[in-house]
């Protein structure tokens, strides 16, 4: 059985192409049934996300398998082959195993270290299992992919550093304040990154939420979503006395919070720490505020600097992860190699046993009625002869290294073995 990966992702295809070949909702089950057992394809799993569509397949012949999978994608989605060929990548054998490990570990993701892909891969595997489109090889490979991903997250720091501005802001807040659950924050404006940072803060335990916006309807909408309190825009400076974290993103052309205002606020706050995030461009918070004691102000550029540093850190951790992938590939190949020999050995044993039972049955019919002890003695004799005959080739197949493929081929031809039957009975 050969392993094959055929797909496209955010690196090889624009969204216009990816959406044409996505297997969404009810389409997925229909596709699994259509692909199952299609020509050379003996096992299959379909992964479909917003950033990638990939088909993992166990095929009897690589060239035929590639043609079958490409033809399936083209026919199912009514997409011309020339359009597909421009975007599709093909990985075979060891490269296919490496690709699956890297996908599961998020090493091939748009954001290295993101956790979503592993859950999506598990869902794809579950769908394949429910529709009985996998077998020994892909079942083992998918479970191994999951364990490799978990090992990488345990042994590296690939997912620990924030690589988005909104998440970096929250990570900074956690460093400034020991316990976010006792803190409150104010969202000024309604920029996309600011709203995302607000969601991260709420998920991190912040309780008191205040929303202010020049458009009161928008403030009320966000307050409802975040379970917060609306603050009239003209009053927000006064309310900052009670606020520990401020996220600002408005379309104002100038500063809406000045140094003098914050100096006055800090006296009334009795110098309790304040963390201010200004995601606005142009900036809405006077940068001189950062010079005030116990006030921590970060703008987009300073947050981006943190993100860039974290991306570099993830890249270093990714190098460690790649080494783990290489180790685990060797482990899987060793298992796959042993499976090939085992299947041949099982098929040889089954063939010998079938012959023994058939010939024994003929002889016992000719001999007529016999005592039970004599029948058992004859059965033991025939079984012993068979075991002694198949023992040498069994030992040789298990011990073979460089010439294993050639030896397997010889044994299969000499004894006319049905390897597929051997595999089925083994599993």
Least confident stretch, 144-153, 182-191, 283-292 = 182-191
Structure confidence at residue 292 (pLDDT): 96
Residue 423 pLDDT exceeds 50 = no
pLDDT confidence bin for 424, thresholds 50/70/90: very low
Q: Tell me the whole-structure pTM to 2 decimals.
A: 0.66
Structure confidence at residue 420 (pLDDT): 57
Which of 17, 22, 50, 146 is the catalytic position?
50
Among the listed residues 228, 197, 196, the one whose alpha carbon sits nearest the alpha carbon of residue 213: 228
Residue 427 pLDDT exceeds 60 = no
Residue ranges and CATH numbers for the domains of the chain are 2-155 (3.30.460.30), 165-308 (3.40.50.720), 333-426 (no CATH)
Side by side, the strands of the sheet bearing 208-212 are: 229-230, 208-212, 184-189, 245-249, 274-278, 295-299
Average pLDDT of the segment spanning 406-427? 68
pLDDT per position as a tens digit, 86-104: 999 999 999 999 999 999 9
Record the tokens describing residue 362, joined without a space. Answer: 């003929």
Q: How high is the mean pLDDT of the chain?
A: 89
Structure confidence at residue 140 (pLDDT): 94
| CA pair distance 390, 400, nearest whole angstrom | 16
Least confident stretch, 103-112, 121-130, 131-140 = 103-112
Q: 248 an active-site residue?
A: no
Residue 159 pLDDT exceeds 60 = yes
| CA pair distance 263, 289, nearest whole angstrom | 8
Structure confidence at residue 162 (pLDDT): 61
pLDDT per position as a tens digit, 16-45: 899 899 998 788 999 999 998 788 999 999
pLDDT confidence bin for 425, thresholds 50/70/90: very low
Least confident stretch, 153-167, 228-242, 314-328 = 153-167
207 compared with 326, residue with greater pLDDT: 326
Residue reference for tokens 């003209």: 234
pLDDT per position as a tens digit, 194-236: 888 888 888 888 988 999 999 999 999 999 999 999 999 999 9
Structure confidence at residue 402 (pLDDT): 66
| CA pair distance 92, 143, nearest whole angstrom | 19
Question: 3-class secondary structure for the chain?
Answer: CEEEEEEEECCCCCHHHHHHHCCCCHHHHHHHHHHCCCCCEEEEEEEECCCEEEEEEEECCHHHHHHHHHHHHHHHHCCCHHHHHHHCEEEEHHHHHHHHHHHHCCCCCCCCCCCHHHHHHHHHHHHHHHCCCCCHHHHHHHHHHHHHHHHHHHHCCCCCCCCCHHHHHHHHHHHHCCCHHHCEEEEEECCHHHHHHHHHHHHCCCCEEEEECCCHHHHHHHHHHHCCEECCHHHHHHHHHHCCEEEEECCCCCCCECHHHHHHHHHHCCCCCEEEEECCCCCCECHHHHHCCCEEEEEHHHHHHHHHHHHHHHHHHHHHHHHHHHHHHHHHHHHHHHHHHHHHHHHHHHHHHHHHHHHHHHHHHHHCCCCHHHHHHHHHHHHHHHHHHHHHHHHHHHHCCCCHHHHHHHHHHHCCCCHHHHHHHHC
What length is written for the chain? 427
């Amino acid at each position: 059985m050969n392993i094959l990966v055929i797909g496209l992702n955010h690196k090889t295809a624009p969204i216009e192409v990816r959406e044409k070949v996505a297997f969404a909702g009810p389409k997925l089950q229909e596709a699994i049934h259509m692909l199952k057992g299609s020509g050379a394809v003996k096992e299959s799993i379909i992964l479909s996300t917003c950033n990638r569509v990939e088909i993992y397949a166990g095929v009897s012949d690589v060239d035929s398998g590639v043609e079958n999978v490409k033809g399936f994608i083209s026919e199912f989605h009514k997409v011309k082959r020339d359009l597909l060929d421009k975007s599709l990548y093909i990985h075979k054998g060891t490269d296919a195993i490496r690709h699956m490990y890297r996908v599961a570990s998020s090493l091939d993701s748009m954001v290295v270290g993101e956790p979503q892909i592993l859950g999506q891969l598990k869902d794809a595997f579950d769908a394949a299992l429910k529709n009985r489109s996998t077998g020994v090889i892909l079942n083992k490979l998918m479970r191994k992919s999951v364990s490799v991903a978990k090992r990488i997250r345990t042994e590296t720091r690939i997912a620990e550093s924030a690589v988005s501005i909104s998440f970096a802001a929250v990570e900074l807040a956690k460093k400034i304040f020991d316990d976010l659950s006792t803190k409150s924050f104010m969202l000024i404006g309604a920029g996309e990154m600011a709203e995302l940072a607000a969601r991260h803060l709420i998920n991190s335990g912040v309780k008191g939420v205040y929303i202010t916006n020049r458009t009161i309807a928008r403030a009320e909408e966000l307050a409802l979503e975040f379970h917060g309190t609306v603050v009239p825009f003209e009053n927000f400076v006064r309310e900052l006395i009670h606020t520990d974290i401020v996220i600002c993103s408005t379309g104002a052309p100038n500063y809406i919070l000045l140094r003098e205002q914050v100096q006055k606020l800090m006296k009334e706050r009795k110098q309790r720490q304040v963390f201010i995030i200004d995601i606005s461009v142009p900036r809405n918070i006077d940068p001189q505020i950062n010079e005030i004691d116990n006030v921590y102000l970060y703008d987009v550029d300073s947050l981006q600097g943190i993100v860039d540093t974290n991306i570099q850190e993830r890249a270093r951790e990714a190098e460690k992860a790649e080494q783990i992938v290489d180790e685990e590939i060797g482990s899987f190949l060793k298992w796959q190699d042993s499976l090939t020999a085992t299947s041949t050995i099982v098929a040889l044993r089954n063939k010998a046993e079938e012959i023994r039972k058939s010939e024994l049955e003929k002889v016992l019919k000719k001999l007529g009625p016999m005592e039970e002890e004599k029948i058992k003695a004859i059965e033991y004799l025939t079984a012993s002869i068979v075991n002694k005959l198949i023992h040498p080739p069994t030992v040789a197949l298990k011990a073979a290294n460089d010439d294993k493929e050639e030896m397997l081929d010889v044994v299969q031809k000499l004894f006319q073995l049905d390897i597929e039957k051997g595999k089925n009975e083994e599993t």
